Amino acid sequence: MRRRVGIVGVGMSKFGKRDDVSVRELSWEAIMEALQDAGITQKDVDLVVAGSTAYRGVELYPAPPVSEYSSLTGKTPIRVEAACATGSAAAFTAINSIASGMVDVVLAVGFDKMTEVDTQTSLAIGGRGGNYEWEFHMYGTTFPAYYALYATRHMAVYGTTEEDMALASVKAHKYASMNEKAHLRNRVTVEDVLKSRVISWPIKLLDSSPISDGAAAVIFASEEKIRELNVDTPVWVEGIGYGSDTSSIARRGEWTSLRAARDAANMAYSQSKRSPRDVEYATVHDCFTIAEIMAYEDLGFAERGRGATLLREGQTEKGGKVAVNLFGGLKAKGHPLGATGLSMMYEVTKQLREEAGPVQQQFKNYVALTHNVGGTGHYAYVSILSR
């Protein structure tokens, strides 16, 4: 029943502290690359879906000015938001607009310029992505503290260690050092991570993703249009699942796994008739190192409680059973909220097309996945892509 939808172009700005550009220029970096990659121009685009959260400088309603700057005026009737999963929410909206038969070519663009506010304001905006009125406002629980609660619980129940978490950071920085667009390109050791400043124990500075500026864009098209455009290597959207959950971590009932992410994964596996064993490459939402370990388990790459084993055994490195985050992950590639989910699709598309250079994973079945979480598990999206 659903029309088949594929990715025909991807673009991504340099992530980092981007004082050199406005949010419009930043978005154009990604949009321009995606258009060139697809070999189309703005006139071929039917609809633009913008994804952005709350870091927009003066632009409270950023969709029209951003699209206007990119000569896409008239095509952008909508902005979407799902906190840190905003980019995937934009993809979800774009994909459904095509699958429904309404339009044929949709550009999803995600952007946030998080460094336009100081770190304290950023934490306050971030805290509102948690449970604002009670947990943030009354207890001062910021994002590192929320993830510290997950980490301590995972340590207590499953014996996961600080060293295990540090391995995720070491891996992220190693691959980011090979990615010219990554925010943090320095390599770090387990010792560096363990010795870094404690933010909210056991989360340390080097367990945490940075505050980044960035934009990413993905152009989706219907199968008919893909044939018409004669696209060399379309990347097919086999499924995109969603989940959400209570905003209150106190009400979750479990603190070692995210229900929203499991729901999203189950929906995506079901839509695509794939299982975790089919996945050869994945981008996962490692906003903190513990989140990568939880993601392995929520996605079914490892049994509950055994996520750290994959890291210890190197199974999620390049060449491993399922390579994860070979562009550096949120941890080191950066995490500009609105862009992250679409930057994951950029990465997976490059991998599936075998355009990933030094970090190219070898595929047999060419099946890959994106896993994008918003809030502390309020929102989640999982997509399955293949070629």
Q: Which are the catalytic amino acids?
A: 84, 335
Residues of span 356-375 touching a copy of itself by CB under 8 A: 374-375
Judge whether 269 and 239 are in contact, CB under 8 Å: yes
Residue 247 to residues 24, 134, 252, 335, 374, Cα–Cα distance (Å): 31, 10, 9, 21, 10
Q: Which of 195, 205, 197, 209 is nearest to 163 (CA)?
A: 195
Contacting residues for 232 by C-beta, under 8 A, at least 6 apart? none
Judge whether 132 and 140 are in contact, CB under 8 Å: no
**In which element (H, E) is residue 238 found?**
strand 235-244
Q: Which of 316, 282, 124, 286 is nearest to 210 (CA)?
A: 286
- The site map against a copy of itself for 22-61 (x = CB under 8 A) is -------------------------x-----xx---xxxx
Interface size with a copy of itself, residues (CB under 8 A): 63
Among 4, 32, 42, 81, binds a copy of itself (CB under 8 A): 81
Q: Least distance to a copy of itself from the beta carbon of 93, Å?
A: 6
The answer to whether 68 contacts a copy of itself (rule: CB under 8 A) is: yes
- The rounded distance, in Å, linking the Cα atoms of 71 and 102 is 22
Task: Tell me 194's DSSP state.
Answer: H
The C-alpha R_g of the chain, in whole angstroms, comes to 19
The answer to whether 352 contacts a copy of itself (rule: CB under 8 A) is: no
The answer to whether 85 contacts a copy of itself (rule: CB under 8 A) is: yes
- The site map against a copy of itself for 136-165 (x = CB under 8 A) is -x----------------------------
Among 13, 97, 122, 208, binds a copy of itself (CB under 8 A): 97
Given the complex with a copy of itself, which of 191 and 224 has the nearer CB atom?
224
Q: Least distance to a copy of itself from the beta carbon of 10, Å?
A: 22
Q: Least distance to a copy of itself from the beta carbon of 154, Å?
A: 22
The answer to whether 2 contacts a copy of itself (rule: CB under 8 A) is: yes
Q: Least distance to a copy of itself from the beta carbon of 132, Å?
A: 5
- The rounded distance, in Å, linking the Cα atoms of 98 and 105 is 7
In this structure, what token pair is assigned to residue 105? Answer: 């070519």
- The site map against a copy of itself for 246-285 (x = CB under 8 A) is xxx----------xx--xx------x--------------
Question: Does residue 234 have a cis peptide bond before it, meaning omega lies within 30 degrees of 0?
Answer: no
User: Strand 281-283 to strand 235-244: parallel, antiparallel, or no bridges (unpaired)?
Assistant: unpaired
The answer to whether 298 contacts a copy of itself (rule: CB under 8 A) is: no
Checking phi first, is residue 170 left (phi over 0); if not, alpha (psi -120 to 50) or beta? alpha
The answer to whether 384 contacts a copy of itself (rule: CB under 8 A) is: no
The answer to whether 227 contacts a copy of itself (rule: CB under 8 A) is: no
The answer to whether 4 contacts a copy of itself (rule: CB under 8 A) is: no
Checking phi first, is residue 124 left (phi over 0); if not, alpha (psi -120 to 50) or beta? alpha
Which residues contact a copy of itself by CB under 8 A?
1-3, 47, 53-54, 58-61, 63-65, 67-68, 73-83, 85, 89, 92-93, 95-102, 125, 128-129, 131-133, 137, 242-248, 259-260, 263-264, 271, 374-375, 378-381
